[in-house]
Amino acid sequence: MSFALPPRLVAEAVERALAEDIGRGDITTDALIDADDRCMGALVAREAGVVAGLDLAAAAFRALDPDMRFEPAVADGDKVAARAIVARVSGRTRALLSAERVALNFLTHLSGIATLTRRHVDAVAGSKARIVDTRKTLPGLRVLEKYAVRAGGGFNHRFGLDDAVMIKDNHIVAAGGVAAAVARVRANIGHMVKICCEVDRLDQIDDALAAGADVLLLDNMDPATLAEAVRVVAGRAVCEASGKVSLDTVAAIASSGVDVISVGRLTHSAPALDIALDFDD
């Protein structure tokens, strides 16, 4: 499986975060630590979870000390236990202290998302359902957050308004119905673009499929209705369940036979995974 983050996005995200935190200079560290002092330490998980964002943490430290050694003890996507070492780091003390918070802010947030995703993935184990994210991401962090979802075993829904078509209620109303909406998009869109159409009632399914939808978004249906929808679709399109998904409900939803379950809270409400930097004595 492939986890790559585009290097440019990593560099930009780290540069922006360091600029935000360091601003006009780290006045505490510069006043107290000699420029040539060196030290080492370890990033340690304070609780169990799934790690994501090691490249970002490494990039933060190296941005302030190009010779910084950053040695991961695990890889993104790995589960760690509480008190496990996530990575060891050594280099100039000033760089460690000045980059510490930025490195941790990336790592704890993305690991929090990976951990929450993994819990959903584990909850549907045995079903064929994939757990996918949404566009409910924190502004400016979407590609990173969607990477963390993959690290947690999930898959990505579309990345933006430009890479796939999703026809929602308001679009349907404007176009005069499901069939007209799908058909109109199909006539105008390139042959490399998939079309997902929201379906709130079972009787819309055949219209959507006839007009050429690739994916049906079955919104806010209970497991029984979902199962009926899956039966009606009969493999003619991908079935995606959406709405009110939580760890309490996801297994039941998966049992309906849907292909995909999209979960907004993976990215908009994942608590941070507690990871800290412990300096060696």
Interactions with a second copy, residue window 145-164 (CB under 8 A): 155-164
**Kind and range of the H or E run holding 89:** strand 85-92
Q: Is-contact 52 114, C-beta < 8 A?
A: yes
For a second copy, what does the binding mask look like between residues 232 and 261, x meaning CB under 8 A? Answer: ------x-x------------------xx-
Indicate whether 46 belongs to the interface with a second copy (CB under 8 A).
no
In the complex with a second copy, which residue's Cβ is closer, 73 or 175?
175
Bridge partners, 38 (sequence order): 92
Q: Is-contact 254 127, C-beta < 8 A?
A: yes
What is the size of the binding site for a second copy (CB under 8 A)?
Answer: 96
Indicate whether 137 belongs to the interface with a second copy (CB under 8 A).
yes
Indicate whether 93 belongs to the interface with a second copy (CB under 8 A).
yes
Q: Report the distance separating Cα 244 and Cα 252, nearest Å.
A: 12
- The tokens describing 262, both together, are 């999209």
Helix or strand or coil: residue 275? strand
Indicate whether 109 belongs to the interface with a second copy (CB under 8 A).
yes
Piece of the chain touching a second copy by CB under 8 A; list 79-87, 121-129, 247-255, 269-277:
269-277
Place of tokens 């979960």: 263
Residues with catalytic function? 101, 136, 168, 198, 219
In the complex with a second copy, which residue's Cβ is closer, 119 or 157?
157
CA distance to 121, 241, 256, per residue, from 197 (Å): 24, 12, 19
Piece of the chain touching a second copy by CB under 8 A; list 21-29, 84-92, 200-208, 246-254:
21-29
